[in-house]
Every structure is written in C-alpha cells, then in structure tokens.
Amino acid sequence: MVWIYTIVSVSVISLISLVGVFALSIDQKKLYKVLIYLVSFSAGTLMGDAFLHLIPEAFENSQNTMKISFSILGGILIFFLIEKIIRWRHCHEEPCEQHPHPFSYVILIGDSIHNFIDGMIIATSFLVSVPLGIATTTAVVFHEIPQEIGDFASLVYAGFSRGKALFFNFITALTAVLGAVVILAINLNVADLTAFLVPFAAGGFIYIAGTDLIPELHKHRSFKAGFWQTIAFVLGMGLMAGLLFLE
C-alpha cells in the first residue's frame, strides 16, 4: 500500500508541471507581454524557496553549519560551472526556439534536483505513516504550483516554444517519481542524502535567480515595467512565505 500511495502522490506532483497548458490557448503577443512579470515572479519564488524553505530545513536537520554553508556554496559553484559549459557549447545567437538562452537549461537542471528531493521526502513520509505522507504531499502541491508556473514562463522567455517548454518541464517533474522509487526500492536513509541535497538545491536556486533571472529584469528599464516587476517579485516571495503556514 505504501508503494501505491507514494507513486500516486508523486505522479500528481509531476502532473502539476503541466499547469502551463493553460498558456497554450493565450494569444502569443499577449503572453509575451506578461512573460517578463512571470519571470520576475519566478525569481521571487526561487529566492523565497531557498531562504524560507530549503535553508531553514537544512538547519533543522543538521547542526553542522559549516557543512550546510559549504553545500550552499557548492550548489552555487556547480551551477556556475554548468552554465559556463553550456555557454561554451552555445552559439552566440539571440534566444529563440532554435537557440534558447543558456539559463533555460540551468533552470531545468535545478528543477530536476528539487523534484528529486520532493519525491524522496514524500516517500519517506509515507514510510512513517499514510497521514504524514498525505500531509507532506499536500504541502508540496501548494509549493509546486507557483514554482512550475514561474519555470514555464522562464523557459518560454528564454526562447522555448510553449509546447517544448511544457514538455521539458514535465520531464524534469518526473524526477520526483525517480526520487520516490529510490527511497522505496533500496530503503535509503534519506536524511544522509538530503542533508547535502537540500542546501545544494538552495544554492542552485539562489544562483539561477540572482545571476540569470534578475539581470534579465534589469533589461526593461521603464518605471512602469520596474514597478510591476517589483510587485511580481514580492508576490513570489510572499507566496513562499505564506506556504510556511501550511507546514
């Protein structure tokens, strides 16, 4: 029964990545007008997730502050190197469907790691008890919806077509299933692995928001654009802060 509950739960989490399907019916010109504000929202959710959820969770599970700090810095460094490698192999064309902006691939990698962790946490919760597993899944659902909307918008802004962004967002979401299966199949001690992966993912999210998304926002210099970007950024962080009351 634990397997059934867990697989159903992580499958629901993976399907949330298809929330961008609602954007398929929106006129392309209208969509592109709001994309930059959704990118700002995404930056806010990533920063909020890192500082309000992942880093506090890391400190709750471990008293080794230096280990956590180095894991965060490791996440920033690894994502920096990943983007460097992508840019070295990337042609210098403007972002488009054939030549998407390199940060789109970094987002996909970061999201994959995050979903993998979610899958492990959900599986571990169901191993403890079914009610705890359901409660954890509910919290993850509310956490994933705003992030998946932001990720989808960022991929489209980077040059992916809406269909391609939807597809790759779903593929990365399936790592939640992989994370759950790893825990259930080999009875892995999740505490040992998440002690490193949680702050590592936080470092990755800080890097993506701070070096990829926020600089894109600064390219739009009008007062009106800056005002609404700030509102969207604060809303992203505020939503992540609000989710603390569901934990």
Distance CA 14, CA 80 (A): 27
- Could you tell me where the DSSP H helices lie in 64-129? 65-88, 103-128
Q: What pLDDT is stored for residue 222 in this prediction?
A: 87
pLDDT digits (tens, 9 = 90+) for 9-51: 898 888 887 876 766 666 666 766 777 888 888 888 888 888 9
Residue 1, CB-side half-sphere exposure with 13 Å CA sphere: 6
Is 47 part of any domain?
yes
Residue scoring higher pLDDT (21 or 232): 232
* pLDDT score for 234: 94
Who wins on pLDDT, 83 or 94? 83
User: Residue 221 sits in which domain range?
Assistant: 2-14+35-246
Count of domains in the chain? 1
Hey, what's the torsion of the CAs at 100, 150, 55, 235, to 10 degrees? 140
Q: 102: closest CA among 83, 117, 121, 120?
A: 83
The top-scoring range by mean pLDDT among 80-89, 172-181, 214-223 is 172-181
User: Does the residue 20 lie in any domain?
Assistant: no
Residue 105 lies in a domain: yes
Q: Confirm whether 19 is domain-assigned.
A: no
Closest CA to 217 of 153, 172, 164, 163: 153
Q: Is 232 a residue whose pLDDT tops 70?
A: yes
pLDDT single digits (tens) 161-207: 888 888 888 899 899 999 888 888 876 555 666 677 778 888 888 98
